[in-house]
Structure formats: C-alpha cells, structure tokens
Chains A and B, each alone.
Chain A
C-alpha cells in the first residue's frame, strides 16, 4: 500500500488533477460542468476506466420552489412551478392545475381539456426531440441531433403563437388555460408540423435507431430487471423497457386520454438500448395522438371555467383540502401533491419528479462496472432531469 500523499504527489508531477485513492483507483468528479450531466454531479471511484462506485451528488439547481410556492397566490404559482421540468414545462403546470381543480371541484370545460391534452402531447414530442438531440450527441451521431433541434424549433414557434413564450409557457392555469387557440391557421400549422416530423422519423431511424454504432454502444449496458425497477420506483419509459406496461395515461386516465387510441410499447430487455427504443416508439405514438386530436378538432365552448372569484386573482381562495394528481411525462410519472388550508396561498406543494428515483439510487446501481465512456450514455438512456430532483 502506497501512502496517499505519495500518490497525489506522483499524480501532480504527471500533470493529473485527479484524487488517487489507491495504487489503481482514483476519484473522479463527473459534473456539474460536464455536458452530459446537466447541472448534476456524480462522484466516481474509478479502477482504470471501470467505475467501482458511483455517488450521485444533486443540489446544484435547488431553488426552493416548494417553499416559495407557499408565499404566492394560487395562480402565480404556475409561473414558478413550471421551472421544475425544463424540457417539458407544461407537465408541472398541468399537474398543479389539475390538483387545484380537484380541490375546488371544478369541471374543466371540454375545450380547455382538448387544449391541455394537445399542449401536453406537443410538449412530449418536443421533449423527445430534445432527448434525441442529447442522445445522438453522446453517441457521436451529431447530424441527427441537429435535425432534432431544428424540428423541435417548429414546435417552439407554435408554442410561441399559442402561449406567447417558447420554453416556459405559463399557459395551463387552474380552471382551464390562459388564452384561446389563436386561429384555425394555427391548427393547420400544427397539422403540417406533425406530418412533417412524422415524415422525418425514418431519417432518425436510419441515422440513430438502426445504426450499428447505437447498438454497439447501448446494447447490454445499464441493465435492470422488472423487480429491481418496481422496488426502486422507476416509472415511464424506463419501467416499460423492463416489461411493465405502466403508463399513467392508461392506468389513471386524465383529460381526454380515455377517448384516444394509442399503444403502450413494452420491451423486456431493460438495457439502455431498450429504453432508447421505447422512447422512439412513443414518439411515434405521440404524433399519432396529436393526429387524432386534430381530427377530433377543438370542441366549441369556453376555455376557462366561469367563476366570479376569478376576477380577483390575488385574493382567490381555495377551500381546505388536498389532492394528488399525476401525468405521464417523457421522463416518467410526474406528480404533484397540493394542500390548501382555505387561504389565498397553498399550504404545501410537493412536486414528485421521476428523476428523484432514476437519478440517485438507480443511477448509482447501473453505473457500477460500466466504462467511463458509457456513463453519459447510461445517464441519457435514463433521461435524467436534475431540476426535478433538486426542485
């Protein structure tokens, strides 16, 4: 056994800034500046290029949303809580609004339900395109990533027309949505965009999902089985890649999903490749759902509940009670638990992001034994989203 100080001295002489732990093992800080981890850090204990132990180290994005939400009027919180999930900010908006609707007992008008469903599906498609971008950059297939970013841009433009904002829409509010659909032209544009993205899916298949490189890099790494996934609270595509057909849209239907026809793709392998392919199949299903919604057309009627109390939003009070609501996001089961004590501010809001299960214990387990080059791929295959761990 060599003394650690000697090892450090030797490392420094050779121009290494790593922390040696033993003759062959050293400690490596992976993130938070690393591109792959997205404001999230993992402390890796390495033996050569193999990971011996991984310790997830979250907290770089903690902004105290749950505390801040207790100091703001009910509707103002929408503009705060949507920042919990950056790539699909409509999900926290919707779960919060659905929970508040349930406490008040509001029946949201049909037109608002249609708009909410459409916005959620648009967010899913744009989030999956964003994920394809991330994945292909990590695999080294840069062209597909740039395509995905360009196609996502079309959805961003549509979001801007609908809500006035590109990333943080602040659109779904308790009782409905904030504004009506701008015009029929917007619906036609959305239809064109859906068709356009659908026509480009074979290109992604060709370049990413049927690519020899993808199979070589992703097959058989980060494997988890059904029992492990269930006991670790894994949800969403990651759980469906282990053979459990759990989709919140099917299991606990909300909004218009009971009327829509879609498949829940399931694979049994449970490795990084299966997780990636599940996401690819779901992107297709989401485009199909959007097509159905557009064929259905928005029902006529109001896009908000009519309630005289809504005229004075800062003093708007919600009766005492609590509610849990959740939706299926591209990362998994996204839930909100809201408690009201009858005042004009929430008593407690808790957001349950799927990454708090995927990004800590599951990640620590899957990384052990993998090569350092596979660490970003495993992270990307779990679709870890640090802001919903830190909140």
Chain B
C-alpha cells in the first residue's frame, strides 16, 4: 500500500499520545505506526489510565491479552482498545508477578463492561485473578477437572497432561495383552 501521507498521519497519532501523556505522567507512550499506539502503565494505575482513555473516546475494548514471560517472572497484560472516533488502536501494557497468589489485578468491568468476559478468559487460562469481578468463580470454557491448571502458561506441560488425561500409557489391561480403551 503506497501511502504518501505517512509522515502526516503519524503526526495525528503523536498528538493523541501527547494529549494522553499530559494527563497521565505515570505512563509511557509511543506511536508504533499509522493507527497503532501503545502505552506502558504500572499495574496499580491501570484503572485510572483506562478511565482516562474512555473519557478520550477510546470506546471499544477488543481484547485483554495475557502473555506469560517466565524468565522475567511476570505476566504481561495487554488491554487492546479501538477508538471509533480517532480510528486508532491502542495497546495498554502492564506487568504483574506470575506467582499465583500475587497475579492479581483490579477489574475494569465498570469502565468497559465487556472486560468481564475477557477477564474470565484470562483467569481460566492464565490464573490472573481480577478482584471485583464476581464472575471469576463461575465456570468458563474449561471443565471442572481442568480448573487450576492454567494451560496457557508457559510452564504447563502439555504432553504429560495429555498422556495422563487420555491414559495413553496404560491402554492395556494388567496382563498387557488386551487393548482397552
């Protein structure tokens, strides 16, 4: 795609970033490319920051992406929001410790109601607990037997789990001559 106005277009994004950073000095922000900006925010200020974004016409929350970084001992949470008004996608990055008892975040469901669903998803697969979201304990995609294993974390041993769950190692009876399913 040839775009002759690229320099002019990213000026528009820079203006949005500057305007947000002026009101939120605790955050860091940059323009990734045309129509893509990102901010890095400390975890305890996430609610303030998302409230600010919502006031600045970032209306649609698209997803909350957890990414596990076991070498850093952290889980990165990326709140991805699209602004219909500014036609810009924003990623708000924050990092929290990945130990189960410390992997806690305040919920943002009162700011973006749809976040309730994304938070349930993040809890089921990554074990991030969102305080204030009462649907945390409700069953989501995984079965009851699959709770508390958090399969999308990097230290989840998929092969061992599959062998254990589907009993691949002991498909034979005690005499080892009859194949049993």
The interface of chain A, by Cβ under 8 A from chain B, is 57-59, 62, 64, 66-67, 71, 113, 230-233, 235, 244, 246, 251-255, 258, 324, 326, 333, 335, 337, 339, 347-348, 350, 352, 356-357, 360-361, 389-390
Given A59-B141, A333-B82: A252 and B59 interface contact (C-beta under 8 Å): no
A350 and B84 within 8 A (CB): no
Query: Is B91 part of the contact surface with A, judged by Cβ < 8 Å?
Result: yes
Query: A-side binding surface: helix, strand, loop or mixed?
Result: mixed
The interface of chain B, by Cβ under 8 A from chain A, is 1, 35-36, 59-63, 65, 67-68, 78, 80, 82, 84, 87, 89, 91, 112-114, 116-118, 121, 125, 139-143, 151-152, 156, 158
A337 and B63 within 8 A (CB): yes
- In the complex, A231 Cα to B80 Cα: how many Å? 14
Instruction: Pick 24 A–B contacts, CB within 8 A, sort by A.
Output: A58-B140, A58-B141, A59-B141, A59-B143, A62-B141, A67-B151, A67-B152, A67-B158, A230-B60, A230-B84, A231-B113, A231-B114, A232-B114, A233-B112, A233-B114, A235-B60, A246-B60, A251-B87, A254-B1, A335-B63, A337-B63, A352-B80, A356-B121, A361-B117
A64 and B62 within 8 A (CB): no
A230 and B59 within 8 A (CB): yes
The residue that B62 contacts in the complex, of A59, A335, A339, A348, with Cβ under 8 A, is A335
Given A62-B141, A67-B158, A244-B84: A361 and B89 interface contact (C-beta under 8 Å): no
Given A67-B151, A335-B63, A337-B78: A59 and B140 interface contact (C-beta under 8 Å): yes
Q: Report B-chain residues with C-beta under 8 Å of the C-beta of A324.
A: 36, 80, 89, 91
- Point out which of A235, A356, A390 has the most chain B C-beta atoms below 10 A from its C-beta: A356
A246 and B84 within 8 A (CB): yes
- In the complex, A347 Cα to B71 Cα: how many Å? 13
From A252, which residue of chain B is reached at the shortest CB distance?
B35
- In the complex, A113 Cα to B84 Cα: how many Å? 25
